[in-house]
Structure 1
Amino acid sequence: MKNNSLKMLAEGLAENGIASLRYDKRGVGESKDAGLSESELRFEHYVQDAKAWVDYLSKDSRFSEIVILGHSEGSLIGMIATQNPDVTKFISLAGVGTPAGEIIREQLKPQPPFVLEQSLPILEKLEKGETVDEVPPMLFSLFRPSVQPYLVSWFRYDPRQELAKLNKPILIIQGTTDLQVGVDDAEKLANANGRAELRIIEEMNHILKEAESDRTKNIATYSMPELPLQSDLLESILKFLRK
């Protein structure tokens, strides 16, 4: 799927005199060669990468300040990296408001009851920092041994606790037709820090495009690279950056 949403956001910022840096996630695209084997990868590697870019940009005199914007999983990565004093503001875009273990529980609830029943003991051990030797074949794609160390590293972070550590301006943005992250997630984040400003954008989905709540029509936008960003998004970000 190709949607160009983050490219469009970068272009919109540039048109308003704001430089931005986007980089491929470690192990993907142009960053493919920096990837680690699944058993070696940890959530902290993604955080370290974001911090490294902050260190790099902070030495460049062309930029007056550094603001981190994290989208989806990048929201949690971004809020941890924003604890660097060189970062002046943070924007969470479609970021979850609960630890990943709780999210997986919710995602498994629509499955047949025995799927959740077999998953819960595994989740509980991973949340305690312990790996599991025996995984039912049916759950192997989710809890295979090689991915468990990453899950352990990811599960230990609570977005609300990480956001509460920030003593700087925060903007929480969430769309109402996002099929992957809900408005309640944004409200949980906003309630975690008194400096957070919450902006709910009507009919914006997870890829920042205008979309209906109907699942089929919503998902179809994920493969529409020419579809523009939801019209209120850029203005909301610009207003926050210019304060």
Structure 2
Amino acid sequence: MLTLAAALAVMAGPVATEVVLPSQPAPLHGTLLTPPDASAVAVILPGSGPTDRDGNSALGVAASTYRLLAEGLADQGVATLRIDKRGVAASAAAGPAEADLRFDAYAADARAWAAEAASRAGKPCAWLIGHSEGALVALKAVQGGDDKICGLILLSGAGRPAGAVLREQLASLPEPTKTQAFAALTELEAGRTVADAPPALAALLRPSVQPYLISWLPLDPAALIAAYDGPVFIGQGTTDLQVSVTDAQALAAADPRATLKLWDGVNHVLKTAPAGRAANMATYADPALPLAPGVAADVGAFIRANGRR
């Protein structure tokens, strides 16, 4: 009878449950995917922009990376809670006015979701799996310690402050726009708003987004990971067009105890892709394309091997 019960549990597969987390000004929403006899639970933190719980956004991304990762981890006995971040999809009503948004709000939400996930899964703590900007959210969330967070899984995360990355991206601007842009970034990094941003960068440096930029630009991922004493897994694809292997190596150098895994031929949305831009970007719109082999397996193996810190 026990053998039959175990077989039926396996056949039943993971159970998806809608989760509502109380918050102000409105609740936050997510999906808990629980396999039979889950050994651990993790919260998947989305990347930048209007990215939903499945890893998709209105900006042309339909790769369903987070749903596929959740399903891959469920196959390994790891439950996941993937979330619509504040201001996005089912959590849209919880988003503040742009001028009132701060990076710390995402970190506070990550801590609240970790406690909720641990409680619902009956575990002492939950892992944070941060993808892209979500990796920085995870690092900020553990600043100062949190016993409801088991450890960190950082996927395709930057290893340098955002200001350094933005300067690289803006380096090809013509003068005097480039000099004006760099000067504006310096002011924002110092905590001061700017009234004379270059017209060509009005969308990036609009007044209503500057308070958020001031809260985000000074954050140094390498310094944050160096200050954290829990288990850390760093995963990075070699054909990622948005974050480089150098970023992952910078994170690993700042935390020699971390586990670094480089996935050959894997892009930013964690799918097998060539380095060529057109073919690489095509994977961003293909939810039927599975995650690259080894991604979910490596993450699941690390979580199972490390248990509770």
- Normalising to structure 2: TM-score of the pair? 0.76
Cα distance in 1 between the residues matched to 2:107 and 2:121: 24
> Which range is displaced more, 75-84 or 29-38?
75-84
Q: 1:34 to 1:87 in 2, by over 3 A?
A: same
Structure 1 residue runs without a partner (length 5+): none
The residue aligned with 2:156 is 94
Instruction: Give the counterpart of 2:196 among 115, 126, 134.
Output: 134
Shift of 1:67: 0.9
Q: CA RMSD in A?
A: 1.3
Aligned to 1:41: 101
Distance 2:291 2:121 in 1: 31
Conservation of the 8 A alpha-carbon contact between 1:108 and 1:115: no
Q: Which residue number in structure 1 is paired with residue 233 of structure 2?
A: 171
Q: Which residue of 2 aligns with 1:116?
A: 178
What is residue 239 of structure 1 aligned with on the other side?
A: 301
* Cα distance in 2 between the residues matched to 1:192 and 1:165: 9
SS in 2 for 1:129: coil
Matched-pair contact (CA < 8 Å) for 2:125–2:147: no
- Correspondence for 1:69 among 129, 135, 140: 129
Aligned partner of 1:59 in structure 2 is 119
- Please state whether the residue corresponding to 2:229 is helix, strand or coil: coil
Name the SS for the 1:90 alignment partner.
Answer: strand
Partner residue in 2 for 1:215: 277
Q: Aligned equivalents of 2:265 and 2:292: distance in 1?
A: 8
Q: Tell me the distance in 2 between the aligned counterparts of 1:59 and 1:192.
A: 32
Counterpart-to-counterpart distance in 2, 1:92 and 1:173: 6
For 1:122 and 1:159, locate their aligned partners in 2 and report how far apart those are by CA, in whole Å.
22
SS at match of 2:269: coil
Percent sequence identity over aligned pairs? 43
Cα distance in 2 between the residues matched to 1:114 and 1:234? 46
Q: Which runs of 4+ in 1 moved over 6 A?
A: none
Q: How many Å apart are 1:63 and its aligned residue?
A: 2.4
**Is contact 2:114-2:127 (8 Å) kept?**
no
Structure 1 partner of 2:92 = 32
Structure with greater strand share of residues: 2
Partner SS, residue 146 of structure 1: helix
Which has more helix, going by share of residues? 1
Match of 1:128, as an amino acid?
A
Partner of 1:191: 253
CA distance in 1, matches of 2:241, 2:65: 16
Distance 2:121 2:284 in 1: 37
Go from structure 1 to structure 2 and tell me whether the alpha carbon gap of 1:221 and 1:61 turns closer, same or farther (over 3 Å shift).
Answer: closer
SS at match of 2:202: helix
Q: How many angstroms apart in 1 are the aligned matches of 2:92 and 2:79?
A: 25
Match for 2:104: what amino acid?
E
Give the number of the structure whose alpha-carbon radius of gyration is greater: 2
TM superposition shift of 1:61:
5.8
Write out per-residue CA displacement over residues 30-81 of structure 1, whole angstroms, 9 at most, x where no aligned residue: 1100011111111111111111112323434622541111000000101222
The Cα shift of 1:113 comes to: 4.1
Give the TM-score normalised by the residue count of structure 1.
Answer: 0.96
Q: 133-142 or 94-103, which moves further after superposition?
A: 133-142
